[in-house]
Amino acid sequence: MMSCREVCAQAQDYADGHGSNASRVKIRLHMLFCRNCTSFVDQTRQTGQLARQSLNKNSDTVVDPKLMAEFKKRSE
Ligand SMILES: [Zn+2]
């Protein structure tokens, strides 16, 4: 079983669809048991989507202000 730290370290790759199949399976398995990592990976994925949507002014996606702050921090 992966540790939370390992999952966090690979969350970005996982969210982007990168990483080996073996590590993706391990992350998925870990997330079955760990709510913290599930929400961390979700947030990482959403932040990545925000980055891709940043030029789309017509986006009607409801954005969590906390995520938006995190996104701004990363994009600076
Ligand atoms: Zn975890």
- Render pLDDT for 61-75 as a digit per residue (tens, 0 to 9): 677 888 888 878 877
Q: What is the distance between the alpha carbons of residues 36 and 8, in angstroms, rounded to a whole number?
A: 10
Mean pLDDT for all residues in the chain:
87
HSE-up (13 A, CA, CB side) for residue 5 = 0
Ligand 1 center to 37 CA (angstroms): 4
Report pLDDT digits (tens) over 41-61: 999 999 988 887 876 655 566
Look up the pTM and report it: 0.64
Ligand 1 center to 70 CA (angstroms): 20
Ligand 1 center to 26 CA (angstroms): 11
Ligand 1 center to 55 CA (angstroms): 33
Which pLDDT belongs to residue 45?
92
The residue extents of the domains of the chain are 4-75
